[in-house]
Amino acid sequence: MNTTEDCDVVIVGAGPVGLMLANLLGMYGHSVTVLEALDDLIDYPRGVGLDDESFRTIQTVGLVDAVLPHTSPQHIMRLVNGAGKVILVNNPQTDEFGWERKHSFIQPEVDRTLYEGLSRHHNVQVLFGHRVEDVEEDAESVTAIAESVDADGQVALRRIRARYLVGCEGGKSPTRKRLGVTFEGESPSTRWLVVDVNNDPLGTPNVFLGADPKRPYVSIGLPHAVRRWEFMLHDDETEEQVTAPEFVDNLLADHVPDPSSLDFIRRRVFTHHGRVASNFRRGRQIVAGDAAHLMPVWMGQGWNSGVRDATNLGWKLATVLSGQADDALLDTYTSERKEHAEAMVELSMTFGRFIKITNPVAAMTRDVTARALNIFPQVKNYFADMRFKPMPRYHSGVLADPTTKASGRASSRITSRLIPVRTANTTVSPVGVQFPQPRVNTRDARNVLLDDAIGNWWSVLVWGNDPTDLLPQSSLDKLAALGARLVAVVPETQREWLEHSADPRIQVVGDHTGRLKKWFDDRPTPLVFVRPDRFVAGACLAQDAPATLDAILEAMHFTRRTDASDEAPERVREAVAL
pLDDT in tens, 33-59: 999 999 999 988 788 999 999 999 999
Closest listed residue to residue 117, CA positions, set 198, 214, 14:
14
As a whole number of angstroms, the distance between CA 247 and CA 220 comes to 20
Residue 359 has pLDDT above 80, yes or no: no
* pLDDT tens digits along 16-32: 999 999 999 999 999 99
Q: What is the pLDDT of residue 455?
A: 96
| pLDDT over threshold 50, residue 88 | yes
* DSSP secondary structure letters along 523-550: SS--EEEE-TTSBEEEEE-GGGHHHHHH
Distance CA 249, CA 267 (A): 11
Q: Look at residue 219 in the predicted model and tell me its pLDDT.
A: 94
Domain boundaries for CATH 3.30.70 within the chain:
191-271
In contact, 130 and 158? CB cutoff 8 Å: yes
Distance CA 374, CA 354 (A): 16
For the ranges 49-53, 390-394, 516-520, 560-564, the lowest mean pLDDT is seen at 560-564
Enclosing H/E stretch for 504:
none
Answer for the pair 130, 36: CB distance below 8 angstroms, yes or no.
Answer: yes
Ramachandran region, residue 182 (left: φ > 0; alpha: ψ -120 to 50; beta: rest): beta
Spatial separation of the C-alpha atoms in residues 173 and 418, rounded to whole Å: 51
Q: 191-198 and 263-271: which strand pairing? A: antiparallel
- In the predicted model, what is the mean pLDDT of residues 91-102? 90
- 16-25, 388-397, 505-514, 533-542: least confidently modelled range: 388-397
Q: Which pLDDT does position 374 carry in this prediction?
A: 57
SS3 state of residue 385 = coil
Whether the Cβ atoms of residue 165 and residue 9 lie closer than 8 Å to each other = yes
Candidates 395, 396, 417, 430; CA nearest to 539 is: 430
153 touches 129 (CB < 8 A): no
- Amino acid identity, residue 17? V
Q: Give the separation between CA 142 and CA 373, rounded to whole angstroms.
A: 55
Does the structure show a pLDDT above 90 at 403? yes
User: DSSP 3-state assignment of 356?
Assistant: coil
Q: Which residues contact 95 (CB under 8 A, 6 or more apart)?
A: 52, 101
More confident residue, 554 or 342: 554
pLDDT of 491 above 70:
yes
Closest CA to 392 of 344, 436, 433: 433
pLDDT, position 381? 52
Q: Report the pLDDT value the prediction gives residue 564, as an integer from 0 to 100.
A: 42
Q: Is 448 within 8 Å of 442 (Cβ atoms)?
A: yes
90-99, 320-329, 557-566, range with the lowest pLDDT = 557-566
Structure confidence by residue, pLDDT tens digits, 280-289: 999 999 999 9
Q: Taking 50 as the threshold, does the pLDDT of residue 562 lie above it?
A: no
pTM of the model: 0.92
Assigned superfamily of 4-66+105-182+276-335: FAD/NAD(P)-binding domain (3.50.50.60)
Within the chain, all domains assigned CATH 3.40.30.10 are found at 396-577
Indicate where the chain has its CATH 3.50.50.60 domain(s). 4-66+105-182+276-335
pLDDT of res. 563: 44
Give pLDDT, residue 343: 85
**Band of pLDDT at residue 489, cut at 50, 70 and 90:** very high
Domain 396-577 falls in which CATH fold?
Glutaredoxin (3.40.30)
Give pLDDT, residue 366: 61
| Average pLDDT taken over every residue of the chain | 90
CATH of domain 191-271: 3.30.70
| Residue 351, pLDDT score | 64
